[in-house]
Structure 1
Amino acid sequence: MADGNGHSVFCTRLSDVENSVPEGGTYAGIIEGKDWGAAVTKLIIPAADEAAPGRISEDVFKVTLKSCITEPVQRTITAAYMSDGFLTLELSSGPADTDSNLFQYNPDAGFNTWKSLYEFKIESPLFSKPVEKCRAAVCPALEGFTFKKITDGDSTLSCACFEPHGTGRTPLIIWLHGAGEGGTDPSIPLMANRAAMFASAETQRIFGGNAYVLAPQTPRVWMTTGGIPYDISDTTERTKSSMYTGTVKLIIDMFIAGHPDIDTSRIYIGGASNGGYMTINMLLNYPGFFAAAFPVCEAYPDSWISDKQIAQLSKEHIWFTAAGTDTVVAPESYMIPTVKRLRAAGAGDIHESYFGKVVDTSGRYRNPDGSPYEYQGHWSWIYMLNNECFDNGVDILHWLAGRKKQQIAIS
């Protein structure tokens, strides 16, 4: 799943694997982004001659995850079938199944990393020997994204970029990751929180069929003035701005310059947690530049925002999202008082989605008592990235796609 430098190595199209010459004793792992991370949901194996369709069933195979921290763990196979000369084994996964999650938290670095040795052993009486060699890691959600690095003075940021295939004036969506997705691998911000969904067919359709996506990645956290995480909390009000503020703006400007079809009246910016802080920070530093913003569980304390800044922000189009059970960034000190002050200042287009808690809405994951699985309260980005935030019958993505600079603000 990763090379020797810790950088992700993916194919993005299964056809690239299926159309190549099959190698016996190998498999391809299909990676899907989930609300809770990413998982290998399927194993694709070149079929042996003796693996006739009539003999294929879940109980004929055994899949073992070899690279667990403690000892190998047998995975549950939920389906087995043949297709176009390949055997497919579907695997169970879920938020409570930590072995299925491809991410692990690195406490020394302070953020998530891909599990470097996520290896399977596939056994069956239909095989002459176990299948143990991973031929490819296929991540369809990353199709169309390119990764690059941008240096501005002493700051170097990684960046993921998606370029649509359409023509005409095209909006730009900017996503700013949370603290757990920092580092030098821009695939992580896209997959750890499902931010790759901005390039999905459904989201692209909402934005008129085409939208650029830009996802910068800081090597540490956005909330720093000198490279030490969270040293920003000790500074004065005038210096609550991230050291990466100018670099992020440079990346945006460079991207726009390189893509003249971008509609500069439709540039949208948002992010979760630490990225929510950075979203507010960018609004404060570049007033009127963005058509709209969508901070989620934002970590910009209301106490840091002056009345003058509130008056400035009241002119922006902003949709806030948070959950009452968030103990990491308590809404009572962040979103709630800020929204109240913005409305008191006469803000014309401020929206909020405030959830009591964060639960699974897909119906796939449940607690032992049968109730929907409950996530950490900080994970309110799940609702936003599933387009489940509504106000007056309008969902957040349609609202966002309809914002344009210099339009008349509507409530």
Structure 2
Amino acid sequence: MRTPITRRTLLVSGATVGASALLGVPAASAGAREQGDALVTPVAEVLDGGEQVTSLVVSSPALSRVERSSLTASTFAVRVTATNPLSGEVAYELDRLVTAAGWTRRGAIRLELEHGWGVDGGGTLQYLGEHGRNVVLDLDHAITQLEPLRGSGGSGEVVLGSFRQGRVSDAEVDAFTRHATASGLNYRLFSPAGGGGRDGAALVVWLHGGGEGGLRTGGYDYYDNETQLRANRGALGFATPEAQDLFGGAYVLAPQATSAWMLDGDGFAPLVLEAIEEVVATHRIDVDRIHVVGCSNGGYMSLKMVAEHPGTFATSVPICCGIGARDGSGRYFISDDELAAMTTPTWLVAAANDTTLDAEANTVHAHERIDGSIMSLYDDVTWGGNTFPGHWSWIYVARNDPHHDGVRIWEWMAATRR
């Protein structure tokens, strides 16, 4: 994501062909000449299928004298190379389709890129199947100017001479500040615009899935405090204006496991509690409105936190959760006695076609044993015209879709106190 880039040039007989020749402009043309350096900022968004680079912003002082109507979607070409920072291997290298080009309010060029579910070349993460982890890719966007821009007032043609890439910008992710507990557990924190009510703001604790933890095996030491926000909209949903309005302002805490919650629930539970206590101690939090939400590994961990600290949470939302083999033979396990003892208001969410954590053996089993719990069991995971893997039922919660007796899940959470 931080790799500097330069303009791609053509070499003929060992000599570099300048911008005017590259663009097909006669070398004798006095109007077409390279106009200095441009900064390229990749702009990303976390979509339902994960984070993608959706546009590039190109800024340069030379653009101040460009006639804006001369910019088209065919002015620039974009090619991206994505490199895995752990292995150094190229994850993908391909051209990105520029679907539109326009101007920002600050006079920079915005190149809109094709993106969405099933579109190759936009993703910022790579899932390492053998390790079960996501890593943030290093992205190198190479920009080629194919056509000159017209200078305003007959001032000649403008050709940007070189490009350098800045850091990836994702407004939603960047709104979460970076922290680590005294014990070294990474977490990100969203702070509401207001301080909440008289007793402080609510706190939503988002516990990520197994793919978003650190990787400290196999010779790696990868612990980035990034993927728990970039892999899906689980935490981000609660930071949207819609959710914030319902909660009257809420902090959103997203801790990151050093590995996977399911590998050591007993060890991680006190570390998650430490993160919660640190946030409560340093911000105006209403301790009667602390909510725990988690997906997959995090769905297990949300149940684990309630089992270990039954008086801490106002609500619990386990999504596509795992509860372990019923004989307790696995690494993770929530016993039937623990489930039956839970009094924290609980809303479970899953899809019936989940092939990762079987809904009947996990979500339905837990629902039948947690007295008074609510369950939203979908047939599959379909949203925005796309059908996703059945395990991805966190998409529904991130979009406030589950509802019961006319009340949606965010509203239920916001209205519930400990």
Any conservation in 2 of the 1:56–1:80 contact (CA below 8 Å)? yes
Any conservation in 2 of the 1:79–1:90 contact (CA below 8 Å)? yes
User: 1:139 and 1:312, CA in 2 relative to 1: closer, same or farther beyond 3 A?
Assistant: same
Aligned to 2:297: 274
- Larger Cα-atom Rg: 2
Alignment of 1:245-324 (within 5 A): 245-259=269-283, 261-301=284-324, 303=326, 304-313=333-342, 315-324=343-352
Letter of the structure 2 residue corresponding to residue 373 of structure 1 = N
Alignment of 1:140-289 (within 5 A): 140-152=171-183, 156-167=184-195, 168=198, 169-183=200-214, 184-194=223-233, 195-208=235-248, 210-225=249-264, 241-259=265-283, 261-289=284-312
Over residues 133-181 of structure 1, what are the superposed CA-to-partner deviations in whole Å (9 max), with x where a residue is unaligned? 21332111024321122243xxx31111122231332111100000100
User: 1:87 and 1:129, CA in 2 relative to 1: closer, same or farther beyond 3 A?
Assistant: closer
Letter of the structure 2 residue corresponding to residue 281 of structure 1 = K
Aligned to 2:138: 116
CA shift for structure 1 position 130: 6.3
CA shift for structure 1 position 393: 1.5
Residue in structure 1 matching 2:147, options 97, 118, 125: 125
CA shift for structure 1 position 30: 0.9
Matched residues in 1 for 2:36 and 2:133: separation?
36
User: 1:200 and 1:250, CA in 2 relative to 1: closer, same or farther beyond 3 A?
Assistant: same
CA shift for structure 1 position 274: 0.2
Any conservation in 2 of the 1:102–1:115 contact (CA below 8 Å)? yes
Aligned to 2:402: 389
User: 1:58 and 1:300, CA in 2 relative to 1: closer, same or farther beyond 3 A?
Assistant: same
In the TM superposition, structure 1's runs of 4+ consecutive aligned residues that sit over 4 Å from their partners are none
Alignment of 1:20-99 (within 5 A): 24-46=37-59, 48=63, 51-67=66-82, 69=90, 72-84=93-105, 85-99=107-121
CA shift for structure 1 position 306: 3.8
Secondary structure, aligned partner of 1:336: helix
Matched residues in 1 for 2:137 and 2:362: separation?
34
Any conservation in 1 of the 2:181–2:278 contact (CA below 8 Å)? no
Aligned to 1:139: 170
Secondary structure, aligned partner of 2:280: helix
User: 1:212 and 1:83, CA in 2 relative to 1: closer, same or farther beyond 3 A?
Assistant: closer
Matched residues in 2 for 1:399 and 1:286: separation?
21
Letter of the structure 1 residue corresponding to residue 145 of structure 2 = E
Q: Which residues of structure 1 form unaligned runs of 5+?
A: 5-21, 226-240, 362-371, 406-411
Secondary structure, aligned partner of 1:334: helix
Give identity over the alignment, percent: 31
CA shift for structure 1 position 132: 3.7
User: 1:290 and 1:3, CA in 2 relative to 1: closer, same or farther beyond 3 A?
Assistant: farther
User: 1:250 and 1:82, CA in 2 relative to 1: closer, same or farther beyond 3 A?
Assistant: closer
User: 1:66 and 1:221, CA in 2 relative to 1: closer, same or farther beyond 3 A?
Assistant: closer
Any conservation in 2 of the 1:176–1:279 contact (CA below 8 Å)? yes
Aligned to 1:238: none
Matched residues in 2 for 1:110 and 1:3: separation?
26
Count matched residues. 352
Matched residues in 2 for 1:292 and 1:174: separation?
10
Q: Which residues of structure 2 form unaligned runs of 5+?
A: 5-34, 84-89, 149-157, 215-222, 327-332
CA shift for structure 1 position 254: 1.8
Matched residues in 2 for 1:28 and 1:352: separation?
43
Whose strand proportion is higher, 1 or 2? 2
Matched residues in 1 for 2:159 and 2:113: separation?
22
CA shift for structure 1 position 323: 0.5
Letter of the structure 1 residue corresponding to residue 260 of structure 2 = V
Secondary structure, aligned partner of 1:243: helix
Matched residues in 1 for 2:211 and 2:3: separation?
21
